[in-house]
């Protein structure tokens, strides 16, 4: 788990040692923690994440040709070389190189970019932990390629392109991670809506803290977790189709609604749940119920963030976790254990964050209670499992950070 980001000087020294010349630019993109709104983004329903202080940092030097040569400062990630083109052959499933090829392939298709770079990267976003290390990498590389290709785009437009680009890796993800990593504002969370992508920044009250704790169980998006994730998306699409047909039959809409927002416009929240319960069963009903109730919780939570209602926001996080566990079936015994420990330590609310199947939880804690919650998570979970692990990488206080930047050295 890459939990130690190298300092800039160590990164630059290693760059010179590798390529014989100093880097000229740095592209950086943060990971994120999603506060509430899980598995809603690919249904075009809202989310409420914030960017983290943990990030991918890419030092680079432009080339005059189409070649990309890229290495990770950690030797276990094999160096990568390829030519920018539309239709870049993917590396084997799960290889980190696919998160580099994804933006190159997509920007070549859309803008014909043809300028490569030599690069070296470092990251302290834990991999496969629900903190979006993948989109941080896609964004850092995409931002660099967009600059080298002299593409004029707004951050949110580039984020949309990066969300499309990441489909190259085989995960049918939504657009939350690329959007918050590209567009976040320091000190703020953001309510993000989709189709079209919109972002409303909301300041986080000064006495609220979000504590992140890692189960240490990796949810690799190349194997079972990817299949389970993609299956959830398909189930949501199937549920939407059945509910849409029922709305037409009942005369509530003239034609079958093609999206969840269209369903919720025709029959808001309770109405949608009632229709779902009348025509769906089994997993399709469970998935539909999670998605509709979670979207409702996001709306309420964004308002509670504005009114600094800590107890109310915490209750919504608890409800979100319950729904993800029983209706969406993406929690695990380790995630449930961390959630319980956070609550025992005094958290106002706690839930799994990201896709689930392992990874991290996030807990909302009043500033005065942070030490107790952190101690409960560290001692209660990590104390018995892996006492030697660096404490900061397992349980940490999230700092609401700014989005991606590209700078000349």
- Partners of 32 in the β-ladder: 51
- Which is closer to ligand NG1, CB of 82 or CB of 229? 229
Among the listed residues 43, 134, 139, 401, the single contact to ligand NG1 using CB under 6 A: 134
Residue 3 binding ligand NG1, by CB under 6 A: no
Question: What does the block give as tokens for 122?
Answer: 């470092």
Q: Provide the minimum distance between the beta carbon of 191 and ligand NG1 in the complex, in angstroms, as a whole number.
A: 14
Contacting range for ligand NG1; rule: CB under 6 A; set: 34-42, 245-253, 341-349, 371-379: 34-42
Q: Considering only the stretches 33-41, 187-195, 296-304, 305-313, report the one whose residues sit in contact with ligand NG1 under the rule CB under 6 A.
A: 33-41
Residues listed for the chain: 409
The yes or no reply on residue 327 touching ligand NG1 (CB under 6 A) is: no
The answer to whether 177 is a known catalytic residue is: yes
Q: Counting contacts by CB under 6 A, is residue 183 touching ligand NG1?
A: no
CA distance 130 to 135: 11
216 or 354: whose CB is closer to ligand NG1?
354
Quote the CA–CA distance of 88 and 143 in Å, as a whole number.
18
Q: Looking at beta carbons, which residue is closest to ligand NG1?
A: 173
Q: How far is the CB of 200 from ligand NG1 (least distance, A)?
A: 18
Task: Using the CB atoms, write b or e for 141-174: b if 16+ within 10 Å.
Answer: bbbbbbbbeebeeebbebbbbbbebbebbbbbbb
Choose which of 72, 122, 123, 135 interacts with ligand NG1 (CB under 6 A): 135
Neighbours of 265 (CB within 10 A): 12
Is 355 an interacting residue with respect to ligand NG1 (CB under 6 A)?
A: yes
Active-site choice (44, 105, 118, 177): 177
State the number of binding residues for ligand NG1 (CB under 6 A).
16
- Judged by beta carbon, residue 128 or residue 395, the one nearer ligand NG1 is 128
Q: How far is the CB of 320 from ligand NG1 (least distance, A)?
A: 10
Reading phi first (left if > 0) and then psi (alpha if -120 to 50, else beta), residue 356 is in left
Distances (CA, A) of 115 to 18, 111, 139, 404: 20, 12, 17, 21
Segment 37 to 76, residues that bind ligand NG1, using CB under 6 A: 38-39, 41-42
CB-wise, 25 or 286, nearer to ligand NG1? 286
Q: Is the bond preceding 193 in cis, omega lying within 30 degrees of 0?
A: no
Alpha carbons 162 and 330: distance in angstroms, whole number: 25
Which residue spans within 194-304 are E strands per DSSP?
A: 198-203, 208-214
The tokens describing 371, both together, are 């030490």
Q: How far is CA 252 from CA 241, 247, 277, 400, in A?
A: 15, 5, 16, 42
Q: Is 130 in the site for ligand NG1 (CB under 6 A)?
A: yes
Nearer to ligand NG1, 122 or 134 (CB): 134
Which residues, including other chains, have CB under 8 Å from residue 358's CB and lie 6 or more apart? 128, 129, 130, 215, 217, 218, 219, 225, 332, 334, 335
Q: Which stretch binds ligand NG1 (CB under 6 A): 69-77, 102-110, 130-138, 210-218?
A: 130-138
Mask for 228-257, x = binds ligand NG1 (CB under 6 A): ------------------------------
In Å, what is the CA distance from 218 to each residue of 159, 169, 234, 359?
A: 25, 17, 23, 6
Residue numbers 144-173 binding ligand NG1 by CB under 6 A: 166, 171, 173
| CB count in 10 Å sphere of residue 387 | 10
- The CB-of-129 to ligand NG1 minimum distance in angstroms stands at 8
User: Residue 43 or residue 376: which is nearer to ligand NG1 going by CB?
Assistant: 43
Is 177 a binding residue for ligand NG1 by CB under 6 A? The answer is: yes
Under the criterion CB under 6 A, does residue 174 sit at the interface with ligand NG1? yes
Phi, psi of 54 (to 5 degrees): -90, 140
Per-residue tokens: 99? 């998160």
Min CB(128)–ligand NG1 separation in Å: 8
Q: Which is nearer to ligand NG1, 166 or 334 (CB)?
A: 166
Nearer to ligand NG1, 6 or 226 (CB): 226
Residues that bind ligand NG1 (CB under 6 A): 38-39, 41-42, 130, 132, 134-135, 166, 171, 173-174, 176-177, 354-355
Supply the residues annotated as catalytic. 177
């Amino acid at each position: 788990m890459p939990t130690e980001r190298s300092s800039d000087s160590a990164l630059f020294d290693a760059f010179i040692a590798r390529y014989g010349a100093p880097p000229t630019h740095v592209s950086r993109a943060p990971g994120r923690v999603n506060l509430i709104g899980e598995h809603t983004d690919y249904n075009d329903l809202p989310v409420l994440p914030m960017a983290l202080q943990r990030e991918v940092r890419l030092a680079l030097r432009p080339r005059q040709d189409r070649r990309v040569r890229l290495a990770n400062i950690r030797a276990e990630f094999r160096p990568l070389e390829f030519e920018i083109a539309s239709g870049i052959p993917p590396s084997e499933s799960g290889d980190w190189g696919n998160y580099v090829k994804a933006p190159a392939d997509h920007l070549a298709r859309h803008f014909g970019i043809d300028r490569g770079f030599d690069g070296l990267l470092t990251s302290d976003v834990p991999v496969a932990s629900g903190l979006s290390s993948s989109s941080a990498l896609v964004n850092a590389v995409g931002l660099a390629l967009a600059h080298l290709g002299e593409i004029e785009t707004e951050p949110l437009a580039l984020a949309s392109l990066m969300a499309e680009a990441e489909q190259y890796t085989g995960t049918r993800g939504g657009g939350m991670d690329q959007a918050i990593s590209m567009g976040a504002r320091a000190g703020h969370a953001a309510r993000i809506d989709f189709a079209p992508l919109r972002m409303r920044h909301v300041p986080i009250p000064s006495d609220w803290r979000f504590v992140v704790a890692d189960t240490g169980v990796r949810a690799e998006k190349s194997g079972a977790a990817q299949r389970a994730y993609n299956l959830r998306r398909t189930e949501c699409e199937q549920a939407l189709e059945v509910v849409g047909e029922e709305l037409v039959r009942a005369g509530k809409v003239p034609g079958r609604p093609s999206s969840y927002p269209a369903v919720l416009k025709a029959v808001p929240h309770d109405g949608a749940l009632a229709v779902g319960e009348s025509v769906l069963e089994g997993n399709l009903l469970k998935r539909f119920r999670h998605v509709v109730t979670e979207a409702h919780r996001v709306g309420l939570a964004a308002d509670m963030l504005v009114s600094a209602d800590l107890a109310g926001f915490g209750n919504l996080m608890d409800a979100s976790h319950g729904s993800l566990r029983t209706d969406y079936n993406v929690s695990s015994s380790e995630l449930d254990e961390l959630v319980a420990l956070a609550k025992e330590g005094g958290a106002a609310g706690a839930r799994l964050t990201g896709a689930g199947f392992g990874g991290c939880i996030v807990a909302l804690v009043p500033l005065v209670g942070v030490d107790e919650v952190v101690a409960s998570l560290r001692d209660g979970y990590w104390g018995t499992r892996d006492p030697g692990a660096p404490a900061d990488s397992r349980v940490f206080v999230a700092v609401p950070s700014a989005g991606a930047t590209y700078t000349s050295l």
